[in-house]
Structure 1
Amino acid sequence: MTNSGNDNDRGSSPLRPNPVNNPSGPPSRPQIRLSPRLGWVLGGVLLAGVVVSQSIRVIPAGFVGVVFSALSGVKPIPLEAGLHFVMPFVDGVTLYDARLQEVTLARETAQTDEGSIRARSKEGLDITADVTIQFRIDRSKAAILHRELGRNYINTVLRPQVRSKVRDSIGQFGAADLISNQRTQLETSITTELEKAFTRNNLILDAILLRELKIPESVANAIEEKQTAEQQVAVEKNRLQQAEISAQRDVVQAQGKAKAAIETAKGEAEALSLRGRALKENPQLIQLTVAERLAPGIQTVMLPSDGNFLLDLKSFGTQTLPKAPATPAKPAN
């Protein structure tokens, strides 16, 4: 059995709209209308925010800002670090890093065609150089750099110049000199040439570092053998020089002794000559000399034969000569 009244009840349920009794459906929400004046205010605020954001530029520390004006072109004075106001929608600011930068041309940092610099030495041998360049832009000439080179100046100017100057400088030296005692001279030559190129392009070269110089292994071995032989020759020369110095020292010492002996002999001869002359001129000095050289135990002195005689020094002064016997007187006739 069906209850026909149920359909009618469902149709007239208060929870559902009755299309018959309420043909307009659910009640509509009230619509919000903005006044034209409020719209102009909001538009003005939004436009002011855009204008302010376009007129304020903040330059970070270590950077400079180059201003390009749509009316006058690149402005000559760059903006230093800090807050700056520019003409909105007319001036554009390009940032340049003014801090110390470095570029490395080496095998481990190779990108596309960038890598170690290959050059030829003075005798035509292949030399491979790994180089690091430290530089900075000229802050006062950043506008000229921007106008003439642009932000890609590292790839358009710096790298090609470094490669060219390093090749030219290596070509002035021999391979043996580059790996032995003229590495510093090579760095000086590269630095001199790069400073000229960097100055023309408003860059400042801070330092150039030769990280590694490579030559063919066979050439390196030959150079090493040559240097070893030269060192041995130098050692032998040093020994020979030491022997010569020792011999010269002995000769000098012998000459000194000979000169000393000669001078001593001369002195003695001159002394004897002077003494002989003195004795000749003063014969009495002979007796004095003999007396001085006699031993203390000898009691007599030998004197010259011309009227001199042997003198008994011990009895001298204590004894008298014996008297001659008296001659008897002759009787008178």
Structure 2
Amino acid sequence: MLALRYLLITGGLGMILAAVSILGYDLYRELMYRRALATPGEGPLPPLPQWRWRTSLALALLAWGPILLAFSIVVVPSGTAGVRVSQTSGTLPGTLYPGVHFVTPLIEDVALFDTRDQVFTTGVAEDGKTAAAGVSAKSELLNVQAKEGLTLGLAITVRYRLDARRLDYIQSNLPRPVEKEIVPPVVASVWRELIPNYTVRDVFSAKREEVRQRAAGMITQKLAADGIVVKEVMLRDIQLPEEYAKGLETLLVKEQENDRMSVETELKQKQVRIAELEAEATKVQQIKQAEGEAQVHVLQAKGESDAMQYTLPLKEKQIQQSKLEAEARKEATIQNAEAAAQAKVIDSKAETERRKLLAEAEADRIRVTAAADAERMQSEAVILKQNPLLINKIVAERLSDKLQIMMVPADGKFFFANDVLRSMNVANQSSQTEPQEEQPK
């Protein structure tokens, strides 16, 4: 619809421009004709121009049609609402909601109002900025007096919106803009009327929520009469007088200390009570334990008495069994001793046989060794007889690591060989006599 409205306005203005252009062209022709009359002989005279007044007037009158039609179209944007204001009848009842509406052009106008939620804030906002740019936070606080006469600084936020159904009343009776002319005075008057009924302590801590709820109710009631819907009233912060804040802080510290001591006293009492209960429980436990032990001893004595009736026959059987086991061990010991004696006899016989066999083996070895030595010496004697010079070589080899001086007669040639041969003959004779002695045996 906005495009249609702008198109109609453009068409109307175009028609007016066309009418003006026609009159301008006719004026140009009139000037050219008069110039030609003023300078005769330069050329043929142009035709006499005719002024087209009717055509221009018709275009101008027709141009008002689309213009008036365009002015009758009103578009209410989203988030706003409007009321019709007549030049003859004043504010007309009814609300124009977002969309396209038709009004009487040149007689009626549309006053627009923002119907979205708005916020009125005093003091420092939540983002750290003041409610109004360039104004200190202290001056923006709402100053009220408590019951004691002390001045408090309140940081308040009121969330509200205009009632779209009562915009005609707002337009007719309330000053504009409403968010500056109506809301701040009403909010301030309510808080200044309510706070003097409470002490600083009540407002700050004890009845803070009650004060906020009462203020919200009064603000909602007063602004509702003017067509303003209050959604929420928030008491964000309270600035106490400096001296009172220090005194309150000291009082709170003392109250906290008192509460702490009360809690500690109660805790001590509970600890004493717990100790008493534990002592009683220990006493009862010991009594029950003693009774239980006594009953256990009685039951044990009864059990032992009953068990003795069955234990005596069992003991007698155990004694008999022990005697039989002792006799069995005695017989086993005797048999083991006899077996050990027989084993020792067998071992001694075996040892005797072994020694006899060893002696015989040793004698055979000695005889074999002696026979071998005799044969070797005989062969050596034969060799020495054949080569007497070997005696000196053998003596030199055996005496190479020692030096001995021997005294021999000058004519005692081969004296050492003669002694060796003589000893070998004696050994051979003795070895031959031993077998002859063993044969008679």
TM-score, L = length of structure 2: 0.51
Contact 2:123 2:155 in 1 (8 A): yes
1:44 counterpart = 2:71: no
Report the 3-state secondary structure (helix = DSSP H, G, I; strand = E; otherwise coil) of the residue aligned with 1:65: strand
1:81 counterpart = 2:98: yes
Q: How many residues align?
A: 266
**Distance change (3 Å), C-alpha of 1:262 and 1:183:** same
Report the 3-state secondary structure (helix = DSSP H, G, I; strand = E; otherwise coil) of the residue aligned with 1:129: strand
Q: 1:102: which partner in 2?
A: 119
Distance 1:77 1:140 in 2: 7
1:233 counterpart = 2:258: yes
Larger relative strand fraction:
1
Shift, 1:34, TM fit: 3.2
The correspondence of residues 106-145 of structure 1 with structure 2, limited to 5 A, is 106=123, 109=132, 115-145=140-170
Report the 3-state secondary structure (helix = DSSP H, G, I; strand = E; otherwise coil) of the residue aligned with 1:207: strand
Shift, 1:137, TM fit: 0.4
Distance 1:250 1:115 in 2: 60
**Distance change (3 Å), C-alpha of 1:208 and 1:34:** farther
**Distance change (3 Å), C-alpha of 1:97 and 1:116:** same
Instruction: Output one character per residue of 1:39-73: Cα deviation in whole Å (capped at 9) or x when no partner.
Output: 22222133224412331212111111101234544
Contact 1:122 1:171 in 2 (8 A): yes
Q: 2:71: which partner in 1?
A: 54
Q: 1:329: which partner in 2?
A: none
Contact 2:157 2:233 in 1 (8 A): yes
Shift, 1:91, TM fit: 1.6
1:251 counterpart = 2:268: no
Contact 1:101 1:135 in 2 (8 A): yes
**Distance change (3 Å), C-alpha of 1:247 and 1:26:** farther
Q: 1:169: which partner in 2?
A: 194
Report the 3-state secondary structure (helix = DSSP H, G, I; strand = E; otherwise coil) of the residue aligned with 1:179: helix
Shift, 1:172, TM fit: 3.5
Distance 1:216 1:53 in 2: 62
Distance 1:192 1:43 in 2: 60
Contact 1:96 1:151 in 2 (8 A): no
Q: 2:358: which partner in 1?
A: none
Larger relative helix fraction:
2
Q: 1:213: which partner in 2?
A: 238
RMSD of equivalent CA atoms: 3.9
Distance 2:90 2:306 in 1: 123
Contact 2:175 2:181 in 1 (8 A): no
Q: 1:63: which partner in 2?
A: 80
Distance 1:203 1:96 in 2: 12
Contact 1:131 1:209 in 2 (8 A): yes
Shift, 1:265, TM fit: 6.4
Report the 3-state secondary structure (helix = DSSP H, G, I; strand = E; otherwise coil) of the residue aligned with 1:78: coil
Give the residue type in structure 2 aligned to 1:222: G
Report the 3-state secondary structure (helix = DSSP H, G, I; strand = E; otherwise coil) of the residue aligned with 1:171: helix
Distance 1:271 1:62 in 2: 92
Instruction: Output one character per residue of 1:195-230: Cα deviation in whole Å (capped at 9) or x when no partner.
Output: 111221111112223343212101100000110111
Distance 2:62 2:88 in 1: 27
Larger Rg computed on CA atoms: 2
Percent identity over the alignment?
22
Distance 1:34 1:206 in 2: 68
Instruction: Output one character per residue of 1:212-271: Cα deviation in whole Å (capped at 9) or x when no partner.
Output: 321210110000011011111212222222111111111011122333445566788999
Give the residue type in structure 2 aligned to 1:132: T
Higher relative contact order (CA 8 A, sep 6+): 1
Distance 2:143 2:281 in 1: 65
Distance 2:308 2:143 in 1: 104
Q: 2:107: which partner in 1?
A: 90
Distance 1:290 1:155 in 2: 108
5+ residue gaps in structure 2? Answer: 1-36, 125-129, 320-441
Shift, 1:143, TM fit: 1.6
Distance 2:92 2:72 in 1: 16
Instruction: Output one character per residue of 1:288-321: Cα deviation in whole Å (capped at 9) or x when no partner.
Output: 58968x9x9xx9xxxxxxxxxxxxxx9xxxxxxx
Shift, 1:25, TM fit: 7.1
TM-score, L = length of structure 1: 0.66
Distance 2:233 2:205 in 1: 19
Moved more, 261-270 or 35-44: 261-270
**Distance change (3 Å), C-alpha of 1:235 and 1:39:** same
Give the residue type in structure 2 aligned to 1:77: G
Distance 2:267 2:140 in 1: 51
